[in-house]
Amino acid sequence: MHRIWKKVDRTIWSRSLTLFAVAVFLDRFGQGLLGGARMNFFVETLGLSNNQILWLEGIREVPGLALIFLAAFTMHLPLAWQGVISLLLMGVGYALQVFVGSYTGLLAMAIIASFGFHLWVPLNHAIGMSLSGKKNTGRILGVLASVGSLAGIVGMAALSLLSKILEALPLGAYFLIGGAFIVFSALFVAKLPMDLGATEVKPARILVKRRYWLYYVLIFLSGARKLVLGSFVTLVLVQNYDMHVWEVSTLMLVSGVLNLLVSPVMGALIDFSGERLTTTASYVILALCCVGYATVSNLWVLLVLWTLIKLVMPLGMGLSTYVYRTAPPEELTPTLTAGVTFDHISSVGVPFLASAALPVIQYSGIFLATAVLILLSIPFAWALQVQAPPVLQMATVAGE
């Protein structure tokens, strides 16, 4: 553990990394502010039913399904400009959800925000890893995750305080303010060097290679459980245990504090122990948490499991570091983008299946099925082996 902490302590902050960290902070603050009020906004303000929420969750994943094709139009732009576009779409899409007057309008704005969000997911890691070296990429991503957790803490604290003091403040106000912060974060991404992540070989607009098949399989299985680990674990607390917005935001605040402290260690642990061990261990823990959600009805135990799920999730960045250590530079962003699409091939259909199955098998059945899916991922995670990029590409990078 001491050797891991030494890796964390030697993190070097460059100007570009600092700018990007500020952008990550603003983006995560905005997402934290509106994310904590999201389910309550849908249920209490908009009066959405269970099925409407599930359909919304499914439809908002469609841009991720088509991302490999949509991102092809921006793939040749500098990484920084791709990031600016994604953040603007996300922030504006979230803010405009306040002004919709129909369920159809809500779906339209959700799709805009979702496209920006899903475009940002691979770019966030690609930019972060472009600011690091092969040996410390996990550490850099861990530090950025810690910055994001700090932003989430501040956002959740603000939401918890405001929702308690200003009870008359509409929940939609948090969407407006959160969207504005996300838009503001784009200004800092725009200040990053335009040659960041640039390579002599032009990146392919669309790239799917057999070399990365393990990554595709694990991302596909990850997408199948994303709805449950991302939304259902909170939805159960709101609907079955009547948790209020200030209680949910406080829970997220506690989780954020823990992630702030642990994320840099998680990143260094990936560098120290490798993607194979850390990814496998995280899957075992997530599977056990899902079994707990399916079999335990004590609220305090569920709160502990909720926190543990959120605490382990950052180890998922090991799949990105696996690609970074394996792929030549020009294949990094296209491969991560393709990964988002593989993720959504499975995740788009899950909300609709869950909507049909929920009345029959209840939440306990959903969580048990998710545990099985996670267990299926373990053999593939154990097969992860970092392979150096092709010699020709390594020579090209060395020449740079």
Closest to 336 (Cα-Cα) out of 78, 112, 71, 25? 71
pLDDT tens for the chain, 400 residues long, are 455 445 444 556 788 889 999 999 999 999 888 877 777 778 877 878 777 887 887 788 788 777 877 777 777 788 889 899 999 999 999 999 888 878 888 888 999 999 899 889 888 888 988 887 777 788 888 888 888 888 877 887 788 788 778 777 788 888 899 999 999 999 999 999 887 766 666 766 777 888 889 999 999 998 888 878 887 888 888 888 888 877 887 787 787 788 788 888 888 888 888 888 999 999 999 999 999 999 988 889 999 999 899 888 888 888 888 888 888 888 888 888 888 888 888 877 777 787 788 788 888 888 999 999 999 999 999 998 876 555 444 333 333 3
Cα Rg of the chain (Å, integer) = 20
- Does the CA dihedral 65-23-249-179 come out positive or negative? negative
> Which pLDDT value is given to residue 201?
65
- Alpha-carbon gap, residue 335 to 207, rounded angstroms: 6
Estimate to the nearest angstrom the gap between the alpha carbon of 74 and the chain centroid.
21
Q: What angle do CA 65, 388, 138 make, to 5 degrees?
A: 65
Q: What is the pLDDT of residue 12?
A: 60
Q: What are phi and psi of 46, to 5 degrees?
A: -90, -15
CA distances from 147 to 27, 35, 126, 141, 267 (A): 11, 17, 17, 10, 13
Phi-psi region of 362 (alpha: psi -120 to 50; beta: other; left: phi over 0): left
Q: Report H helices in the chain.
A: 2-9, 15-40, 50-59, 62-65, 67-70, 79-96, 103-130, 137-165, 172-189, 213-227, 233-241, 245-273, 275-295, 299-312, 318-326, 332-347, 350-382, 391-399
Residue 69 to residue 208: CA distance in whole angstroms:
12
- Cβ within 8 Å of residue 213, ≥6 positions away: none
The whole-number pLDDT of residue 200 equals: 66
Q: Which residue in 54, 29, 7, 90 sits closest to 271, CA to CA?
A: 7
**pLDDT tens digits, residue range 133-183?**
777 788 888 888 888 888 877 887 788 788 778 777 788 888 899 999 999
Task: From 35, 42, 70, select the one nearest 181 (Cα to Cα).
Answer: 35
- Region class of 12: left (phi > 0), else alpha (psi between -120 and 50), else beta: beta
- Closest by CA to 231, choosing from 96, 366, 123, is 366
CATH 3.20.190.10 for domain 15-191+208-387, yes or no, is: no
Task: Tell me 205's DSSP state.
Answer: S
pLDDT for the residue numbered 199: 67
Q: What does each C-alpha distance from 303 to 51, 68, 96, 268 come to in angstroms?
A: 25, 36, 32, 27
d(CA 344, CA 346) in angstroms, rounded, equals 5
Q: What pTM value is reported for the model?
A: 0.76
